[in-house]
């Protein structure tokens, strides 16, 4: 009977953890039975191995590592986010146990893990405060852009755990009722403070995410506006050509009437050459969107003496949104031309876009000069003069690729900058 009670308590304990992690972390796409097997293994671990673990530090360390393995198997967030979530959950659990432990000290004079009532009450209290956290702090934990927030939160939680352990040890030695009361009150305040710190951290993280998204949207609008201006310029050129066509035809007609066919032919040849020179259409893949994007950028490249090598093999209809293609191809072309035109030597941009096995493969290579440096997160630092406004383009590209569960790889080698994308 006692074993059944312990198993039931452990299942409640594990269910509370699962409730917390599912509320704040992004689950992997796994079958239900896989989730049950993983948490079942954790229950067995808690009911067997943990009985032989002695000491608070060892108990916490083993619990933390076993939870990290479990969470890593079931949730897809980055390691740092998983660690933060585990520390928050275990801190709330430990503070709840400390509060119940202080009550036991006050009433019975000692704390014993074998006391089932102590364990049951502490786990129920843990569940209550986890539910409060889930209700107060809604939404998944997004990718942490500023690691200092994580470090501050972890430091707060670690400090609270250390203070709670010290309080418990002091109360074991002193055994004065007034000290018990103040310790319990302080522990409750610490628990509320932990949840409040978690909420503030989550809000700061959300604010950073919204700020970054706004920057990305602003850059996307700028790209769309630039492409619209380029299309308007092309339309204006077409209108001007049509307007001038009448006068050209009148003159050709007059030459023919006067039997000056040779001069009429020479004039038409000159007119056609001039028209083709002003209307660059280097790509005819059959897809209007990609053709217009590359033809417009080709004109920019030619103006800056940048050689473009193109290889396209795509269907006439693309299965992803046109706006996303504009973001990916437009930004990568802009970055490649911008970097290559600054070169004193070879100025070359290579573009390959292929559709194979129901996936799109993109390769953008360009020459560059100077040193490409990375920041602390492994991202390339922009070489453009206004660093606050640039570098967002590549973030936009990555966001689109991630949306379609694709892969993007950036490589630098011997004067060449290369971006590969597969999605």
DSSP for 53-82 reads --SHHHHHHHHHHHHHHHHHHHB-S-HHHH
- Please state the φ and ψ torsions of residue 29, each to the nearest 5 degrees: -80, 80
Specify the pLDDT at position 387.
43
- The structural domains of the chain, with segments of one domain joined by +, span 2-217, 282-423
Specify the pLDDT at position 364.
92
Specify the pLDDT at position 214.
75
- pLDDT digit string (tens) for the chain, length 423 residues: 666 776 777 788 888 888 888 888 888 877 788 888 888 888 888 777 767 777 777 888 888 888 999 999 998 888 888 888 888 888 888 888 888 877 877 776 665 555 667 778 888 888 888 888 888 877 677 665 567 777 888 888 888 878 877 877 787 777 777 777 888 888 888 888 888 888 888 888 778 777 777 776 776 666 666 666 766 666 776 777 676 777 777 877 888 888 877 887 887 777 766 655 555 555 566 676 777 777 778 878 888 888 888 888 887 777 887 778 878 888 888 888 888 888 888 889 998 888 888 888 999 999 888 765 554 444 555 555 444 444 557 777 888 888 888 888 888 888 888 899 988
CA 154, 156, 157: angle at the middle one, nearest 5? 65
Choices 3.40.1390.10, 3.30.565.10, 3.40.50.2300, 3.30.1050.10: CATH for 282-423: 3.30.565.10
Question: How far is it, in rounded angstroms, from Cα 330 to Cα 335?
Answer: 9
What is the β-pairing status of strands 359-367 and 307-313? unpaired
Specify the pLDDT at position 376.
44
Whether the CB-CB separation of 407 and 423 falls below 8 Å is answered with yes
List strands edge to edge, sheet with 416-422. Answer: 307-313, 348-356, 359-367, 416-422, 407-413
Specify the pLDDT at position 3.
67
């Amino acid at each position: 009977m006692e074993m059944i009670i312990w198993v039931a308590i452990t299942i409640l304990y594990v269910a509370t953890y699962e409730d917390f992690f599912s509320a704040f972390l992004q689950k992997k796409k796994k079958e239900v039975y896989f989730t049950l097997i993983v948490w079942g293994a954790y229950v067995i671990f808690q009911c067997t191995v943990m009985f032989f673990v002695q000491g608070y530090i060892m108990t916490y360390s083993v619990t933390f590592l076993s939870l990290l393995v479990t969470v890593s198997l079931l949730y897809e967030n980055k390691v740092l986010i998983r660690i933060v979530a585990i520390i928050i959950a275990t801190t709330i659990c430990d503070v709840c146990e400390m509060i119940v432990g202080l009550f036991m000290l006050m009433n019975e004079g000692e704390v014993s893990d074998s006391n089932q009532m102590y364990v049951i009450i502490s786990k129920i209290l843990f569940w209550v405060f986890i539910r409060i956290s889930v209700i107060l702090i809604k939404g998944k934990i997004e990718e942490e852009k500023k690691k200092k927030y994580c470090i501050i939160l972890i430091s707060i939680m670690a400090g609270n755990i250390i203070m709670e352990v010290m309080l418990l040890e002091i109360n074991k030695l002193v055994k004065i009722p007034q000290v018990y009361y103040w310790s319990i009150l302080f522990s409750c305040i610490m628990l509320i403070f932990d949840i409040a710190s978690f909420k503030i951290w989550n809000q700061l993280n959300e604010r950073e995410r919204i700020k970054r998204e706004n920057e990305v949207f602003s850059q996307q609008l700028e790209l769309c506006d630039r492409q619209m201006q380029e299309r308007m310029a092309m339309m204006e050129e077409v209108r001007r050509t049509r307007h001038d066509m009448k006068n050209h035809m009148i003159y050709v007609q007059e030459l023919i009437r006067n039997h000056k066919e040779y001069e009429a032919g020479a004039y038409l040849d000159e007119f056609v050459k001039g028209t083709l020179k002003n209307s660059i259409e280097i790509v005819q893949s059959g897809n209007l969107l990609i053709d217009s994007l590359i033809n417009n950028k080709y004109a920019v490249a030619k103006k800056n003496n940048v050689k473009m090598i193109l290889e396209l093999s795509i269907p006439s209809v693309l299965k992803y949104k046109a706006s996303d293609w504009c973001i990916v191809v437009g930004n990568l072309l802009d970055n490649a031309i911008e970097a290559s035109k600054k070169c004193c030597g070879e100025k070359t941009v290579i573009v390959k876009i292929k559709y194979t096995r129901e996936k799109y493969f993109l390769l953008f290579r360009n020459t560059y000069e100077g040193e490409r440096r990375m920041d602390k997160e492994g991202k390339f630092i922009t070489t453009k003069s206004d660093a606050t406004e640039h570098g967002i383009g590549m973030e936009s590209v990555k966001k689109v690729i991630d949306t379609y569960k694709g892969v993007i790889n950036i490589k630098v080698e011997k004067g060449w900058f290369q971006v590969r994308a597969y999605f």
